[in-house]
Amino acid sequence: MSTLFLIQLLNGLQLGVLLFLLAAGLTLVFGIMDFVNLAHGSLYMLGAFICASLTFLTGSFVLGVLLAIPIVAVIGYFFEVLIVRHLYESSHLDHVLASFGIILIADTLVQLSWGPEGIAIPLPDYLSGQVEILPDIIFPTFRLVIISSGLLIAAGLYWLITYTRLGMLIRAGASNRTMVSALGVDISSLFAGVFALGAALAGIAGMLIAPITEATIGMGNDIIITAFVVIIVGGIGSMKGAFIAAILIGIIDTLGRSFLKDILEMFIESASADTAGPALSSMLIYIIMAVVLALRPQGLFPPKVR
Amino acid sequence: MNKQESIIKLDEHLETPTLFGFGRGRLITIVVMVLLLILPIAAWYMGNKFYLDFSARIVCLAIAAVSLNLILGFGGMVSFGHAAFVGIGAYAVGIPSYHGYESAWLHFPLAIGAAAMFALITGAIGLRTKGVYFIMITMAFAQMAYYFFLSLEEYGGDDGMTLWSRSDFGFLNISDGLTFFLLCYALLVLCVYLVFRIVHSRFGMVLRGCNSNEIRMKALGYNTYAYRLTAYVISGAMCGLAGALIANLQDYITADTMTWTRSGELMFMVILGGAGSVFGPVFGAGVFLLLEEILSAYTIYWHLPFGLLLILSVLFIKGGVNGLIRRGWRL
């Protein structure tokens, strides 16, 4: 039981860091530019597919990832310049609809280019094995790689936002856009750059998960909703909130799916627990979000300056 | 939308309230409604049943879109979870039917009542939030409903459930395609009329007032929360009715009707037709389904032009089809 619990905890952590990579991009785009980007999940999907092709082309997964990251960033850049830029002044409703349109286009384009089937990405031998992290606890190497690279990226983002000039501009842009542009900063390039950064992060998340789940059409459409749950629970615009909420939601969701049924069985008869368990565990994160919104609409860790 | 615009928008609705709109728009609205009634019946008499079912689909989704428009277009509440009400309405037909209760006099009140109850509970919590938070909380509730029905193994779960016979109205046999279409059409007219009366009543004035300036309405002494919640419940109930009709139309019920993409499609219908005009969503549902039908006949990649159109309509067309007509087909 405790072994299983630890392994599920690690799986939860892995989902958590993936959610953070997506939520970080959403936080940048939503927190700074006030743009609701449902199509963020499409960049996640594009990352997975582009990485798959490059992996087959170069014969190396690592090389595939390294080459795919800038490509997704460039796609994100053009996405901002062509469409998103013209919608900053519109209502959130327009954002939702336009990015819904982008999802339809992206899904179809992927189907046109890669076909309707999912693509499995082969891992090199040194990544596909398992390691014994503690006595009796064996965990797939690649999942550990996901966790550690996610945490590294989180640390890198923290450094970028807190200690660099770009990060300073991002924070300034988030708290007062007009003032920043009045000080002579080219705000539209800044926004495009930030959007590309968010796209790259989403793409990395897609590349990391693809060897486990395959790259499939529409893979981003479910996880993006979970990522929205994360940024709302964490507090819109707060990177720290996004990180904590992502880990929390990842762990709660994973543990709920594996143990909720057993927990329910302690209280109600097992037949009803069999039905209620899966239902409740898929609803769990939405229930958390609804409770947070109802009691603390600004989220758990709202940004200090807005 | 800035404040100036919203006041102008409000004033537009304060023109002499006529059911069919104004000037050029009025004529086109009447023509469209008459065509929507006559064309499928004519096709049916000529032996083509397809257009009757297709038009019934337009009419059913138009009811859902009209009800969404009441809160989205007039109340300014962007609900991203309206597909949940459609799904609840559909299951309110399917579940009793599965247990052998086939009376429509049970199904339809149950559909409307269950959807209204769900709207009351989710609205009471959701309306405490504003703006993008409201968009997200309505979406969260719809996802909960989706996963709830998805997990009901007894009622089909993943696979959905087949409705073996349509709701039994007694004197009205809706297994007959034409009768069913006429029933849907009559209910659409009823719903449009209802929304029209609501919007132009004192209640509707307050609702639209909350949309353009809630603080002012509060200062005038209105309990804006109660007004919004009432409108939300009415809208949910009407959407439940649409769901009951859709279940009967498809003879098949699945939780997929509740996914967030379906809610997005409903929103698109409202925007495409023109939010904030009573008939707009009817145009929207018609144009949406026609496009879907035509494009998917040409290519399996029809989502591509469809998505492009969605983006272009958001970027360039203000006020949807209805706005286009009103401005004399100028963008």
How would you classify residue B20: left for phi > 0, otherwise alpha for psi between -120 and 50, otherwise beta? alpha
Give the confidence band of A14 by pLDDT, cuts at 50, 70, 90. very high
pLDDT at residue A36 above 70? yes
Q: CB distance A297–B303 less than 8 Å?
A: no
Q: CB distance B311–A102 less than 8 Å?
A: yes
Q: CB distance A96–B131 less than 8 Å?
A: no
Instruction: Identify the pLDDT of residue B4.
Output: 45
| Average pLDDT of chain A, as a whole number | 88
The two tokens of residue B52 are: 């009757």
- The pTM is what? 0.87
Range of the domain at B30: 3-326
Chain B closest-CA separation from residue A226 CA (Å):
10
- Cβ-count burial of B202 within 10 angstroms (0-12 exposed, 13-18 middle, 19+ buried)? exposed
Which residue reads 């897609």 in tokens?
A206
Q: Give the max Cα distance, chain B.
A: 61
- Cβ-count burial of B103 within 10 angstroms (0-12 exposed, 13-18 middle, 19+ buried)? middle
Mean pLDDT of A174-197: 86
Q: CB distance B315–A87 less than 8 Å?
A: yes
Exposed e or buried b per residue across A232-255, where buried means at least 16 C-beta atoms within 10 angstroms of its C-beta? bbbbbbbbebbbbbbbbbbbbbbb
What is d(CA A52, CA A132) in angstroms, rounded to the nearest whole number? 28
SS3 of B128, please? coil
Q: How many CB atoms lie within 10 A of CB B272?
A: 27
pLDDT tens-digit readout, A117-132: 889 888 888 888 888 7
Mean pLDDT of A20-32: 88
Q: How many CB atoms lie within 10 A of CB B123?
A: 26
Please tell me which of the candidates A107, A225, A282 has its beta carbon nearest to residue B260: A225
Residue B204 lies in a domain: yes
Is B153 part of the contact surface with chain A (CB cutoff 8 Å)?
yes
List of chain A residues whose C-beta atoms are within 8 Å of the C-beta of residue B271:
93, 97
Q: CB distance B125–A287 less than 8 Å?
A: no
Contact B234, B70 (CB under 8 A): yes
Is A221 part of the contact surface with chain B (CB cutoff 8 Å)?
yes
Q: CB distance B133–A293 less than 8 Å?
A: yes
Mean pLDDT of B273-277: 78
Suggest the residue from A286, A296, A300, A306 to mutate for an interface test with chain B (most B CBs closer than 10 A). Answer: A286
Q: Which range among A149-163, B134-148, B209-223, B304-318 shows the weakest confidence by mean pLDDT?
A: B304-318
Mean pLDDT of B102-120: 94
What is d(CA A26, CA A38) in angstroms, rounded to the nearest whole number? 9
H or E segment and range at residue A12? helix A2-33
Nearest CA in chain B to A282: B147
Exposed e or buried b per residue across B64-81, where buried means at least 16 C-beta atoms within 10 angstroms of its C-beta? bbbbbbbbbbbbbbbbbb
CATH number at B178 reads 1.10.3470
Give the confidence band of B8 by pLDDT, cuts at 50, 70, 90. very low
Q: CB distance B301–A93 less than 8 Å?
A: no
Chain A closest-CA separation from residue B264 CA (Å):
7
Is B261 part of the contact surface with chain A (CB cutoff 8 Å)?
yes
Provide the terminal-to-terminal Cα distance of chain B, rounded to the nearest Å: 18
Q: How many CB atoms lie within 10 A of CB A169?
A: 19
Q: How many domains does chain B have?
A: 1
Please tell me which of the candidates A83, A105, A297 has its beta carbon nearest to residue B129: A297
Give percent of chain B with pLDDT exceeding 70.
Answer: 89
Mean pLDDT of A129-157: 87
Give the confidence band of A64 by pLDDT, cuts at 50, 70, 90. very high
Residue B331 lies in a domain: no
List of chain B residues whose C-beta atoms are within 8 Å of the C-beta of residue A218:
none
List of chain B residues whose C-beta atoms are within 8 Å of the C-beta of residue A27:
none
pLDDT at residue B171 above 50? yes
Residue B294 lies in a domain: yes
What is d(CA B221, CA A262) in angstroms, rounded to the nearest whole number? 52
pLDDT tens-digit readout, B217-251: 999 999 999 999 999 999 999 999 999 999 999 98
Instruction: Identify the pLDDT of residue B330.
Output: 58
ipTM value for the complex = 0.84
pLDDT tens-digit readout, A76-108: 999 999 988 888 888 888 898 899 899 999 999
Contact B20, B29 (CB under 8 A): yes
Instruction: Identify the pLDDT of residue B320.
Output: 65
What is d(CA B288, CA B286) in angstroms, rounded to the nearest whole number? 5
Chain B closest-CA separation from residue A105 CA (Å):
5
